[in-house]
Structure 1
Amino acid sequence: MDFAYSPEQADLSAHLRNWMDAKVTKAQARAWEADEGNYPVRLWNLMTEQGLHAVGLPEEYGGAGSGVMDQMIVCRELSRNLGGLSFVWGVSSFCAKSVALYAQEVMKRELLPRLAAGEIRMSIAVTEPGGGTDLLGGMRTTASKVDGGWRINGQKIWSTGAKAADYLLVLARTDPHASKPSRGVTMFLIPNPAAGLQIEAIPKLGMRSMSSCSVFLDDVFVAEDHVIGEVNRGWYQMLPTLNNERIMIAAMCAGVMDAVLEDALEYMQHREAFGRPIGQFQALQHYIADIAMWRQQASLMTNHAAWLQETGQPCGTESMMAKVVATEHAGHATDLGIQILGGMGYAQETDMQRYWRDVRLFRIGPITSEMSRNSIAESFGLPRSF
């Protein structure tokens, strides 16, 4: 089976790489990332001008009509220069998939063209302070039926980009008596601002201008047409979005490894020690070989998972595997990248430290490597271990 890019996909990849180097440089990414708490609106607008927000959305709603493979290519090429700031594009893209699949027609007609045109942004608000990886078992946010809609109460955490979002995709428990934690939860789209909605940024290690937030919901009213999908089946309908998110995280890490190789090789060819370029040192050559092999593994597994999802085949285990392999390899690769650059790898004037800070998150979220391994093992018939 050949998971190489088609000629059209190869053209897309090359076009985006050239555009990034001309319009969205690594130096710009360093400046945006360091501007803590200030959402990079200019970056969002550049993506809008390039038509990137339309990727993955249906043509009948103003989208580009492209599939998961094209999304993956976009994510990878953005991440080569942006690192984790490719989430500026990615978060709304994840949410848009749920809207396109499950929203009522009136909401699709209203929101998807605006998403495709970059006129509005969305953010996911799912994780809770007392739950973490135990997303369903720890869910305390509730939604109660009232005239014309629902009232939502609770708290979410680690909602990336929430302060700058026009809508939040929120998961809340609508049936407290459901027989299983995965049942009785519903997806809602909450406008921001809204009465009773409060959002606070959380200072963090990486992606500092792309705030991750605590979201407080105090009797927030949501209209009936803002229910996404079927009531009480929100978890099952969110799964395609979660698989897509894991594939995009894997693509993001492959893009970061593209950057690590590129920056390390450039440095090794020009930096001299002991009278010769450090690229002649065997130990550092081994580091390059390791990074290249890790990137290849991540690329093949990511392409495979994306192909499965695009062709409508089950991809839960494969997307989880790609996410674990890509995130862990990216962590090793960025650490070696710092080692290759030595003291300059630790300096904020270079990008290695930024790559390292960004990819460290992805062994934790959106699902930990440990929980991912549990799910992978279960897919082979082993009993649940948690």
Structure 2
Amino acid sequence: MIGSGTLPDTTEQADLREMVREIIERGAPPQRVRELDDANAFDLELYRALGEAGLIGLDAQADGTSGADPRLQIIVLEELAAGPTSMAVCLVVQYMGVGLLTEYGSDQQRSTVLAPLLDGSERVAFALTEPDGGTDVARVMRTRAKKSDGGRWVLNGAKTWISGPQHARNLIVLARTSTPESSPIDGITMFVVPTDTPGITVRELDTFAIHSLDTCEVTFDNVEIDASAVLGHVDQGFRQVLGTLNGERLNAAAAALGIARGALEAAVDYGRQRQVFGRPVGSFQAGQHRLVDGAIAIESARALMLQAAEATATGKRADILSAMAKVAASDAAVAVTDAGMRLMGGSGFSKEYPMERLFRDARLYTFAPLTNEMLRNHIGEKYLGLPRSF
């Protein structure tokens, strides 16, 4: 890692970081990452290696007695995002699945879905977003699940911008199951649905970035599922998901931070070697100052992220810190990749270097899993005490 001013890891965290780096070095060198990105192909070998090393479970137990430590999750995600970024995005989803299944899964769901997720033999996809709803998805949710006379649920509707459903074994789907008189976030239920269930259609979308993880539209046409598919409590699914959003923001911050760090390292390496006018291009003040500002932004975001992770791990309030960390890290990723492209010029534009991919991939976290504008609204209301702005 560049510089010596970064906050130190504990021995356990340092060992974990080194393990992830060794797995990436062996299984996902830059040339392989580039080839898979060009081919729009998922790195199944790397995913299995991460699972075998215990990096998806991270001490979470299939019986639900304990979950994964967020302070460890962010290390794995940062290291992956600095290299094979699409895998970091995949693990953000898997970690969310681990959290939901650990807390709300039935014994059957934990044995058949959570256990193979923890060891890396299977994956889940999280299906929430709909064609007509983003941040306000609960209010406009059209995906419906109705009870049949035989006691089964029948699922109809469509989800979009869903990460990884083509190769996932199960979907965690949110659907409206009743019409509440109070809040629109009530009356929504989570279901665990195998992707090979009749009536499910998956169509891949052609996206700007994150090419090594499929982004898809998923439609449900009279999909019949057993009552045992309910994850948690009927009509409380959206509230259950809200409890995981802090962790998702925190993990998004880690992924964005990894992109920023990877871009900074690539730009600094190039700036030291590339000669123009008889001197390294990194010695010129304008470009150097942009990289310095990027380094400051990265370390500022890291401090917020670590505070948020510690608060989450110790049961303290962390929503504001995780929101701040996600905004700061994604802004840093955009700024550093832009600075790197400017410093590298035509080389940054070339696929020979990772900068153009990192430049593309960084944009995801300005709006996912929640837009930075909405997170700023949350911070304005909850931290500054300003009137609600939406």
**TM-score range with shorter-chain normalisation?**
over 0.9
With the length of structure 1 as denominator, give the TM-score of the two structures: 0.94
How far residue 188 of structure 1 moved from its aligned partner, in angstroms, is 0.8
Equivalent pair of 2:334/2:359 in contact (CA under 8 Å): yes
Task: Confirm whether residue 15 of structure 1 aligns to residue 47 of structure 2.
Answer: no
SS of the residue corresponding to residue 192 of structure 2 reads strand
Aligned to 1:197: 200
SS of the residue corresponding to residue 164 of structure 1 reads coil
Aligned to 1:160: 163
In the alignment, the residues of structure 2 paired with residue 334 and residue 245 of structure 1 have an alpha-carbon distance, to the nearest angstrom, of: 23
Aligned to 1:26: 30
In the alignment, the residues of structure 1 paired with residue 377 and residue 177 of structure 2 have an alpha-carbon distance, to the nearest angstrom, of: 28
Between Structure 1 and Structure 2, how many residues are aligned?
383
Q: 1:225 aligns with which of 228, 235, 248?
A: 228
Aligned to 1:92: 94
Q: Decide which moves more: 244-253 or 109-118.
A: 109-118
In the alignment, the residues of structure 2 paired with residue 215 and residue 338 of structure 1 have an alpha-carbon distance, to the nearest angstrom, of: 35
Q: Unaligned stretches of 5+ in structure 2? A: 1-5
The one-letter amino acid of 1:384's match is: R
Q: Decide which moves more: 18-27 or 255-264.
A: 18-27
Report the CA distance shift for 1:278/1:31 in structure 2 as closer, same or farther (over 3 A): same
In the alignment, the residues of structure 2 paired with residue 194 and residue 293 of structure 1 have an alpha-carbon distance, to the nearest angstrom, of: 49
How far residue 61 of structure 1 moved from its aligned partner, in angstroms, is 6.4
Aligned to 2:136: 134
Task: Confirm whether residue 234 of structure 1 aligns to residue 237 of structure 2.
Answer: yes
Equivalent pair of 1:155/1:217 in contact (CA under 8 Å): yes
Identity %: 35
Aligned to 2:261: 258
Measured against aligned partners, the alpha-carbon deviations of 1:201-247 in whole angstroms (never above 9, x if no partner) come to 00000012311111101111121111111111111111232221111
With the length of structure 2 as denominator, give the TM-score of the two structures: 0.93
Equivalent pair of 1:247/1:305 in contact (CA under 8 Å): yes
In the alignment, the residues of structure 2 paired with residue 325 and residue 94 of structure 1 have an alpha-carbon distance, to the nearest angstrom, of: 21
SS of the residue corresponding to residue 194 of structure 1 reads coil
The one-letter amino acid of 1:164's match is: H
Q: Decide which moves more: 310-319 or 183-192.
A: 310-319
The one-letter amino acid of 1:17's match is: R
How far residue 332 of structure 1 moved from its aligned partner, in angstroms, is 0.8
Measured against aligned partners, the alpha-carbon deviations of 1:15-38 in whole angstroms (never above 9, x if no partner) come to 3223322322122111111112x3
How far residue 358 of structure 1 moved from its aligned partner, in angstroms, is 0.6
How far residue 362 of structure 1 moved from its aligned partner, in angstroms, is 1.1
Runs of 4+ in 1 over 6 A off after TM superposition: none
Task: Confirm whether residue 335 of structure 1 aligns to residue 338 of structure 2.
Answer: yes
The one-letter amino acid of 1:12's match is: L
Q: 1:148 aligns with which of 142, 146, 151?
A: 151
Equivalent pair of 1:54/1:62 in contact (CA under 8 Å): no
Equivalent pair of 1:33/1:85 in contact (CA under 8 Å): no
Aligned to 1:301: 304
The one-letter amino acid of 2:27's match is: K
- The two structures, once aligned, show a CA RMSD in angstroms of 1.9
How far residue 300 of structure 1 moved from its aligned partner, in angstroms, is 0.7
How far residue 62 of structure 1 moved from its aligned partner, in angstroms, is 11
In the alignment, the residues of structure 1 paired with residue 23 and residue 42 of structure 2 have an alpha-carbon distance, to the nearest angstrom, of: 21
In the alignment, the residues of structure 2 paired with residue 330 and residue 219 of structure 1 have an alpha-carbon distance, to the nearest angstrom, of: 42
SS of the residue corresponding to residue 143 of structure 1 reads strand
Q: 2:120 aligns with which of 115, 118, 121?
A: 118
Equivalent pair of 1:126/1:171 in contact (CA under 8 Å): yes
Report the CA distance shift for 1:56/1:126 in structure 2 as closer, same or farther (over 3 A): farther
